Structures are given as C-alpha cells and as structure tokens.
Structure 1
Amino acid sequence: MSKPVRLAVIGTGLKAAEYAHSWVRMPEIEFVAAADVSAASRRRFADICAAAGRAPLREFDDFRIMLAQCKRDLDAVYISTPHAFHAEQALAVIEAGLDLFLEKPMVTTVAEAKALIEARSKSGNTVVIAFNGALSPLVRDTHKRAAAGEFGELFSVSASIWEGWSSKYDGQWKQKPELSGGGFMFDTGAHMMNTVCLLVRSDFDRVSAYMNNYAKPVDIACAVAARLENGALVTFNAAGEGPPGCASHMTLFYSKAIVRIDAWGAWREIEIEGKPGLREVAEAAHQENPLKSFLSVRRGEEENPSTVENGLRFARLWDAIKASAARDGESVRISDIG
C-alpha cells in the first residue's frame, strides 16, 4: 500500500467535523495539522482525530503560519471556511506547492477564479472542488452519455432547489454578505448552478435574474432565465424559505431523452423515446465522503470531474446573476462580465 496522504485542514467548523468522523477511519489519510480562528472548533476536530487513535494534531489559529511551518510535512490541504475566504486561502495552498480539496463554491468572483486557474497552471498541483454533484457517479455518467450524443440535442433545462434556509441560518455567517459572498442562491443554490454548468457542456451567453432578500442582508429567493451559447435555454429557481428540509429537482430536455436528476447527483431518472426509466440512486459513500474522489483524482485513477475551469464558468454565471438582479432583471451578456 502506498504511503498515506499527509493532510491539513483549514477551517474546522461543522462541515469539517462532520466529514472527520468518516475520514479518521481512512488508512490512506494521515492528519497532520489544522488551522481555525476558533480554538473550540480546532479542539473539537482534534478530539475526533484523537478518539480514533490518531496522532495529535498540530493546531494553528492562522493558516499562513500553518503553511509556513508545516508545508514540508504535507501533501494536501482541505479548505472548509466561509466562502469569502476561499480565494486567499486556496492561492496560499497552491503557492505552497500542495494539492487542494476546496469546499464549494470555489470562489466568489470571476477575478478570483481566473487568479486560481493561473496559479494552478503554474504549479501543476491537483485542485478539486468539493461539489457533491460534480463528484457523483450519476452526474458524471450523464455528462458522458450526453457528450456521446445518446440523448440528442439539448433544448432546455429547468432547475429548482429549496430549503428552509432563511430561518435555519438566521444571524449566522451564511447570511453575512462580507463572509458568504451571497445568499441562498450562492450557498445551497451553488449545488444546482454548478451541476447545470457541468451537464449543459456550454458556456452561458445571456442571463436575466431577480432576487428578493425578504428583509435579510442577502438573497433568500432568486429566479433566473438564461441562454447558453449553444442556444439552449435554462431557468433556475431558488427558494430559501419554507418547511424544514432541503431538496432539488432538475430536468434536462433533449431531442431524444428527458433526464431528471437532483443537484447533488443523489438520484436520476432517464426517459428515452417516451419510456420512463427507473430511479437510480447513487451509492451513499460517494455522497457522504467526497474525499475518496479527491484521492482517486490525485492518484491519477480518474479524470478530475470538478475542475477550476468549471469553477470559472460557475463564477461567470454568478457574477452575471448579481449584475442582472442589481439592474432589476436587465439582461446581461456573460462576455461583458470577464
């Protein structure tokens, strides 16, 4: 067996702690260090590792100091911090010569996405964005079959996502624009946008968008109508308030098939020539432990399904949505975004 990947974590909040319970059982991972501004958060993460018999973590309150002192003892870094910090931290990791597993969304602007692509291109390091949909076998299979022409020409896409997000995260960092980079559409809705960006296999051409903050500092509801460069039309609907729960439903209409799939790639239905297909469900391991996909890409066992290049397509879409919503739905051309 090859040597374990020496991993550090930047951001030891609830998502990182949730993943840690399964990651500590992976012999192919060696936890080396963790950085977070919260001592309590770092201690919780360290305790999870210790309870699994792992060696003591090196703890830091500043990720820069961690990288400076530990980079020779590391192979890769996982970043799980508020969205607005991703760009600076990701660039620092790449410039340190380390591979990167970066939580979604990749960055908050087109300029940040371009900077990340340039840094990755110079370093040659592996960078995978932790979108469940992009890493889902069902999404990847759908992309492959569509590219092979099995479904015919894409005509339109209808995508919706909903969650009791406004109440669930009231007052938390996700609803503080200086930390989140956006509201519901950019948080939970990012899964929907990114999976669509992957499956349509085309850049966006024009976008028209409306947002409603419902007295919050960030968007709670968002409606988008868009046109792709290949001519297909796309609609997004994001509803960030409602009963408890979270779900999505996306339908891609092709000339030969109708594909229904959720934003996370957890299930799929394919209707070909009018014959409804059975619902397929992704293996839980791929949904609950995306680190396995990162390691597989890093070992060269599979192509990277969640690249910084798709992150740029996503960033252009998001910047256009913000620009259009700020102009009360005025149509925005993607090429004007950068």
Structure 2
Amino acid sequence: MSRKLRLGVIGAGLKAAEYAASWARMPEIEFVALADTTPSSRLRLIDVCVAAGAPAPRSFDDYQEMLASCRDDLDIVYVSTPHAFHGEQATAVAEAGLDLFLEKPMVTTVAQAERLIAAQKKSGVTVVTAFQGGLSPLVIDTRKRALAGEFGDLVAISGMIWESWSSNYDGHWKQQPEISGGGFMFDTGAHMMNTVCLLANSDFESVSAYMNNHGKNVDIATAVSARLKNGALATLTAAGDGPPGCASYITFFYSKAIVRIDAWGGWREISVGRTNEPREEAEILGNPMKNFLAIRDGTMENTGSVEMGLRFARLWDAIKESAAADGVPVKIAAP
C-alpha cells in the first residue's frame, strides 16, 4: 500500500471542520498539522479528527510557523481562511513546494493571482481551487462537449444567483470588506462567476457593472453586462437579499443548443433544436478531496487551475473598477 498523503490545514473554521469529518477517515490521508489564530477553532478541528479515529494533528497559531516546522512532514495543504488572506497564504504554500487545495475564491485581485501563478510555475506544485461547480461531473461534461463543438458557437450567457445573504451573514466577516474582499457577488456569487468563466472557454474583454450595498459595508446586489473575447455577450445578476433560500440559474445560448445549469453543477438541462432533454441531477460535492487527489494524480482535468483563477480575477477586478465608476465600461487587457 502506498504511503498516506500528509495533510496540513490553514484555517480551522467551520468549512474545514465539516470536511475533516470525512477526510480523517480517508485511507489516503493523514492529518499532520493545522494552523488557526483562534484556539477554539483549533481545538474543534482536533476533536473532529480524534472522533474520526485519527491521531490529533499538531496545532499552531501561525501558519508560517506550521510551514517552517512541518515542511518536510507535509505533502498537501488545504487553505480555508477569509478571502483576503488567500493570496499570501497560497503563495507561501506554493513557495514551500507543497501541493495546495484552496478554498474559493482563489485570490481577491489579479496581482495576487499573478504572484501565485509565478510561485506555482517555479515550484511545479499542484494548485486546485475548491469550487464545487468546477469539480461537478455535469459542469465538466458540459465543458468537454462545448470544447468538442457539439453545441456550436457560444452566442450569449445569462446568469443569476440569489440568497438571503444580507441577513444570513449580518455581522459576519464576510460583510467586513477588509477581509472579505467583496460582498455577495464575491462570496456566493463567486460560484456563478467561476462556472461562467469555466464554461465560456474565453477570457472577458469588456465589463460594465453596478453595485448596491443596501445599507451594508459590502455589495448586496450586483448587475454585470460584458463582452467576451470570443464575441459572446453575458449578463450576470447577483441578489443577496430576499426570502430564505439560495439558488442559481445560468443559461448558455449556443448556435445549436441551449444549456441551462446551476452554479454548483447540481442540475443541467439541454435543449437541442425543438427537443428538451430531461433534467439531469448530480449530488453537489460533499468531499472534494477525492477530486483533488484525482487531479493531483493526473486522472482528472484541473478545472480549478491557477490559470482559471486568473481569468476569474480579471473579471472580478473589472467588475469592481466599473462599479466604482458607476458603470463605466472597463476593458480587460489581453493576457
């Protein structure tokens, strides 16, 4: 039997604790170390590992100390911290020569994405961003079929996502711009933007955007109109206030077909000509570590690559710039 892959965790919050319950039971994984600035979060994650029958991982309050002390005892690091810390922490992991599984969104700016790409290319490590949609079998299949030309040319994209996010996260770090990197569009809306970036198979060329904070310190509602380099047009709407719940609908209009899918890859509907195929459904991933390991082994396409993260970052920077200028179009420089 091959040696277990040794895992370190940066950020021991609720998402890490949720995943740890299954990861600690995986025969391929050995929890080695964790880092978090909050003692109670560290203790909670340790308790989850022990309850799963795994040894207690080493605990650090500083991720840099964890990387320095455990570098030779680690193979993989999972980063699950507030968005604004991703760039620095992810780059440090890549520079340490460790494979990285990074919570979404990858980074908050294009500059951070470029630094991470440089570190990844120098070290040659695997970097995957943990978007459920990007790892969904329905999204991956749609991407393959679109690239093969089955649906024809992409003409337009219409995407929307909504959630009772404003009240759900009132007072939460997600509504503190200095550590969240944005509001609803950059948090839940990131799932929509990433799935669009992945399936569009094109960078964006020009973006016009409006935001409304609805009394909060971050955006609650966002409307985007854009043109892609392949000529397709796109509209994206994010509404972070409303009745309880969360949902997304993205429609890709091709010259030969119409594909409807949600941001997380939970369902898909395809219309070809006058024929509407039955809705397909897939379970939204509860243990994406299996997908990460498949990507690491080379048996699955890396749909959460640093290059895809850069496409996302270019779109997000353009949305912020345009919204700050009251919708003035922003042209995205060619890669």
Question: Which TM-score band (shorter chain)?
Answer: over 0.9
Residue 15 of structure 1: how far off its partner (Å): 0.8
Task: Report the secondary structure of 2:271's partner residue.
Answer: strand
Question: How do 1:37-186 residues align onto structure 2 when only pairs under 5 Å count?
Answer: 37-186=37-186
Task: Report the secondary structure of 1:179's partner residue.
Answer: helix
What residue is the counterpart of 1:13 in the other structure?
13
Select which of 300, 305, 308 maps to 1:307.
Answer: 305
Gaps of 5+ in 2: none
Aligned counterparts of 2:229 and 2:198: Cα–Cα separation in 1: 14
What residue is the counterpart of 1:320 in the other structure?
318
Moved more, 20-29 or 64-73: 20-29
What residue is the counterpart of 2:291 in the other structure?
293
Residue 223 of structure 2 corresponds to residue 223 of structure 1? yes
Contact 2:210 2:326 in 1 (8 A): yes
What residue is the counterpart of 2:34 in the other structure?
34
CA offset digits 1:88-147 (Å, max 9, x no partner): 100111111100000000000000000111110000000001011111111111011001
The one-letter code matched in structure 1 to 2:84 is A
Return structure 1 stretches of 4+ with deviation > 2 angstroms: none
CA offset digits 1:234-285 (Å, max 9, x no partner): 000000011111110000000110000000111111111120011111145x
Identity value in percent: 68
Residue 151 of structure 1: how far off its partner (Å): 0.3
Contact 2:166 2:240 in 1 (8 A): yes
What residue is the counterpart of 2:189 in the other structure?
189
Task: Report the secondary structure of 2:117's partner residue.
Answer: helix
Q: TM-score, normalised by structure 2?
A: 0.98
Contact 2:83 2:180 in 1 (8 A): yes
What residue is the counterpart of 2:245 in the other structure?
245
Residue 57 of structure 1: how far off its partner (Å): 1.1
Moved more, 275-284 or 27-36: 275-284
Gaps of 5+ in 1: none
**Count of residues in correspondence between the two structures:** 335
CA offset digits 1:146-179 (Å, max 9, x no partner): 0111001110000000000000000110000000
Question: How do 1:277-288 residues align onto structure 2 when only pairs under 5 Å count?
Answer: 277-284=277-284, 287-288=285-286
Aligned counterparts of 2:90 and 2:217: Cα–Cα separation in 1: 26
Aligned counterparts of 1:216 and 1:223: Cα–Cα separation in 2: 17
Q: TM-score, normalised by structure 1?
A: 0.98
Residue 20 of structure 1: how far off its partner (Å): 1.2
Task: Report the secondary structure of 2:321's partner residue.
Answer: helix
The one-letter code matched in structure 1 to 2:153 is E
CA RMSD of aligned residues (A): 1.0
